[in-house]
A and B are shown apart, each in its own frame.
Chain A
Amino acid sequence: MRLPMVAELNGESDLRHRIRDLRFFEKSFRKNVQLTFPEGAMRSKTDQARLRSSFLAWLESFQANRHLATIDRKDFICFSAGSMLAELFRHDPLSISSETKSSDSATTVWPEGSAYVSYCLGVALTVLEQEFHLSAEIPEYANDPRIWQSFKENVQDNPDLAIPFLDMLLGQSPNWNEPATAEKRPAVKAKSTPVLST
């Protein structure tokens, strides 16, 4: 799958803070759409109110869970990117009309979904690189149209399933049962100090 925004985002110093700025979020999201669908045959339209709603909902989730960053910072970055993806799916700000098929399987199966994933994946990869000098490789199955078809069906049923899906792409242990509950993530559970009974 294509990640056209990574180079652009890498040019932003301190992306983990910049991404919490509504104006930057809007601008970079729109830029990602532009770069993902450069061909004239695909026309995209972004609903600003829906885009802002997804940002505000993500912000609430981020603030409610940010204390978990002290337990496992890397895992929290992946969870935050997954939450952003879930809110984008929930509010669905993008609509794309296409007349031709893209060479990219993800874009062919689900153009809007692939744009959301490429944006959030790009943000997560850039923050991980800036914070931990990690460069994660995207697994081969990310180019499998069957994976995208299955992902589409699942996320339409429950947008929060976007969180474990993104975890898989980032090589992080997913939590399929309670995806939106950050405390139940394998990495958090493994590092949390057990409460001693007296």
Chain B
Amino acid sequence: MPKQQRFSLPPTIDDLSAAPLVVKDALRGIRLKLRNLAPNIDETGLFVQNHLPLSPLAIATTLFNETRKITLLGEDIARDVLLRHRDEARLTAFAGSGFGSNVSPLPEHQRHDYVSSRYAALKILAGQFKADELLILEQPIDMAYLTLLGRFSDVSLASSSKNTINFDKIAISTIELEKSGAVNSPNSGTQAPRLGQLIFAALGLAETILALSTNHSVESTLAALNLAADVIVLRKPSIAAIFDGLDPEAQLSAEYRLLAPPLTEA
């Protein structure tokens, strides 16, 4: 029996490009775990001031608190240094980096814009859905982007006019992103639609609204995300039926055709 190779293939250019995203996502996962593990004690160091011998639990708690402080400090520094990467700033690329406006094929540099702007938009939408602590990962968005890029090279998906909005492509992108695992939504049993489905449906609706609009400023993008989230909440039964239906891509496309024009600012 041949010995199993530890590394099957050397990394491709795509793998190398995605490497920073993998690291960032791993850190996000760790950060979320640390937050969820936080014990319910104050952080004034009361345990440390007590001169009695510390129990193993107290030592662990103290160490944890110190680690948490360092994490928070790191976050603060990162925010200051990477100001231009704040979520809202990243949204400038949201409207122009999607697949719905028929700029085909998307230039390679748009891969970064697509991933980072969608990550930022998902974070904002998670907030709209009162799920700020939701773990959102960039690498699955990147993987979805590459899949979609391959899929949209098919001429049958091209629109007849370069100026028309391709609702189908937006719907396909939305379903692909939802399947990607970019949003790790908690399993709420039989409850439908799932939170992740609502968030992605809102993301696609916001993209469609912006594709129909000529105003792509950060303010308009935020307004579109806000309105899309509100409307998708009101359409919960339809969204559940779409994701559980036989042809979710076609159904979601029809939903966007129905909803987006009346939501687009004249």
Contact = CB atoms under 8 A, between A and B. Distances in A.
Contact of A60 (B258, B264, B265): B258
Nearest to A23: B265
A9 B263 CA distance: 20
B231 interface: yes
Contacts of A18: 266
B253 to A, nearest CB: 14
Interface stretch (A49-57, A100-108, A117-125, A164-172): A49-57
Given A49-B234, A52-B234, A53-B234, A59 B258 contact: yes
A20 interface: yes
B133 interface: no
A24 interface: yes
A52 B226 CA distance: 14
Interface in B95-146: none
B235, B258, B262, B264, most chain A CB atoms within 10 A: B262
A22 B234 CA distance: 14
A77 to B, nearest CB: 18
Contact of A63 (B234, B235, B258, B264): B258
Contact of A56 (B235, B261, B264): B235
A22 B209 CA distance: 12
A56 B266 contact: no
A21 interface: yes
Interface in B3-53: none
Interface in B236-266: 258-259, 261-266
What size tier do the contact residues of chain B reach? 10 to 19
Interface in A49-95: 49, 52-53, 55-56, 59-60, 63
Nearest to A52: B234
Interface string B217-240: 000000000010011011100000
Contacts of A59: 258-259, 262
- Dominant SS at the A interface? helix
B235 A21 contact: no
B232 to A, nearest CB: 11
A14 B120 CA distance: 38
A14 B31 CA distance: 54
Nearest to B227: A22
Nearest to B233: A49
A20 B261 contact: yes
A24 B266 CA distance: 9
B262 A21 contact: yes
A22 B227 CA distance: 10
A56 B265 contact: no
A21 B266 contact: yes
Contacts of A53: 234
A60 B259 CA distance: 9
A22 B258 contact: no
Contacts of B233: 49
A117 B28 CA distance: 53
**Shortest beta-carbon contacts, A-B, top 4:** A22-B262, A20-B262, A53-B234, A22-B263
Given A23-B265, A56-B235, 13 more contacts: A18-B266, A20-B261, A20-B262, A21-B266, A22-B227, A24-B266, A25-B262, A49-B234, A52-B230, A52-B231, A52-B234, A59-B259, A63-B258
Interface of B: 227, 230-231, 233-235, 258-259, 261-266
9 contacts: A20-B262, A22-B227, A22-B231, A24-B266, A52-B231, A52-B234, A56-B235, A59-B258, A59-B262
